[in-house]
Each structure stands twice: as C-alpha cells, then as structure tokens.
C-alpha cells in the first residue's frame, strides 16, 4: 500500500510582471505518476469523461489539467480518483479563471512542472507560447522572472488538441491532446508523466496514451 501524499494549498508569487500560483505535491512514495489532461470540453463536446480516462486517473498519484474544462464537474469527477491541479483555458468561464488562474507551477520533490493552457502570448505556435510562459517571451532558452535560476523542468499544456512530447531548451514539453475532442488528432488521448525519484539523476519521462473513440468501449 502506498503512503499517503499531500497536496499543499497554492501560494501566489510574482512572475514576469504578473502573478502565478505554486502548488507543492509531497508524494508518500516514489516513483510518482502524473496523469496529464487537457481540453475535456464537458459538456459541449462530450457529455462525460471517458471511462478509460477515469481508469487512468485512478492509477495516478496526481492529475494535472491544462484548461478548457468548460464544466467544473470535471474537477469533481477526477478529484474523486486522485488529487487534481488545474488551470483555466480560453473556453472556461471568468469564474473558473478567477478560481484556478491561467498558469501554475507544480512542485513535486525537486521537480518543477509548469501548467498552462497555451493560448496566450505572441509566439508563433502553441508549444512556444506555453514554454514562453515560464522562460519569458523573446528570451530564447534563458529563464526570466522570480525564481528564474530553474524555471521549470516540464511544461504541460493544451489548446491545440494535438498530442506532443518534445524537448526544447532542456524543458520537457507535454501536450496530452484531448480525451474527448480529437478534431486535430487521429484519436482521443491523455498523457502520463513519470518522475522516478527525489534525486535529479533520471529525467522525467512522458508518454501519450491513446484512448478509445466514443462508442468503442473503455
């Protein structure tokens, strides 16, 4: 049986002339398995979350949602299976945005995970906009802002509905795609992010996980 984990209440601190929340997740044991989700669009694009996604959530130590929940019921359903940290996307309500914020840093042991939807900013594409949220626009690979000595190790984002695992500027980029609306991808998806241990010997690794299309079972 795994030792209990702790999700510490968010603190807000200056970041790039704005403010960003930081959430600390203190795992009971290692490795830590995160489920990455974005663009669920419930109930506008799907009536409910897929059973296969809920199964993945039950196996996770922590769920991170990169926005466009549309309904806050998504947080309740996922939160019944694992702790959840989420940010708002461009399709979420003003109330959801005020509650969740548009960006966050999740600290898991020595690892820092940036969480953002990816629609805001002047960069040319969604991954670049997401990365610039934490490294600073127009600064290349140099971090900027408070705590810039090590901005983030991973950035989880969404918006494009296109699953992606890539590395830029030494930062692992993860777009889980959409679990419900695969207009721009061949299938619905989520992603897993594994942190092997509290030492920085092994880098985080991510994997896109294909989900069944509606009506194709679990």
Task: Say what the pLDDT of residue 167 is.
Answer: 96
CATH number 3.60.21.10 is the correct assignment for the domain at 12-210: yes
**CB-neighbour burial class of residue 154 (10 A; exposed 0-12, middle 13-18, buried 19+):** buried
- Whether the CA torsion 144, 16, 114, 38 is positive or negative: it is negative
Distance CA 49, CA 18 (A): 33
User: What was the pLDDT predicted at 144?
Assistant: 46
- The pTM assigned to this predicted structure is 0.90
Mean pLDDT per 10-residue section of the chain, whose length is 218 residues: 64 64 93 97 92 97 97 96 96 94 94 96 93 76 51 95 95 96 89 95 96 65
């Amino acid at each position: 049986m795994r030792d209990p984990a702790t999700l510490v209440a968010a603190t807000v601190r200056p970041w790039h002339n704005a403010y960003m929340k930081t959430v600390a997740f203190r795992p009971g044991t290692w490795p830590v398995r995160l489920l990455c989700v974005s663009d669920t669009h419930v109930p506008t694009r799907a009536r409910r979350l897929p059973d296969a996604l809920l199964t993945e959530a039950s196996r996770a130590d922590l769920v991170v949602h990169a926005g466009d929940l549309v309904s806050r019921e998504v947080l309740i359903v996922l939160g019944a299976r694992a702790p959840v940290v989420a940010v708002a996307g461009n399709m979420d309500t003003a109330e959801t945005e005020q509650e969740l914020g548009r960006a966050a840093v999740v600290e898991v042991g020595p690892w820092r995970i940036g969480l953002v939807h990816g629609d805001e900013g002047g960069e040319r594409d969604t991954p670049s906009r997401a990365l610039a949220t934490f490294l600073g626009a127009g600064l290349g690979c140099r971090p900027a802002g408070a705590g810039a000595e090590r901005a983030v190790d991973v950035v989880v984002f969404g918006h494009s509905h296109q699953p992606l695992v890539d590395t830029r500027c030494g930062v692992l980029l993860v777009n889980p795609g959409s679990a419900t609306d695969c207009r721009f991808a061949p299938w619905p998806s989520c992603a897993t992010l594994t942190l092997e241990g509290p030492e920085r010997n092994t880098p985080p690794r991510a994997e896109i996980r294909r989900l069944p299309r509606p009506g194709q079972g679990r």
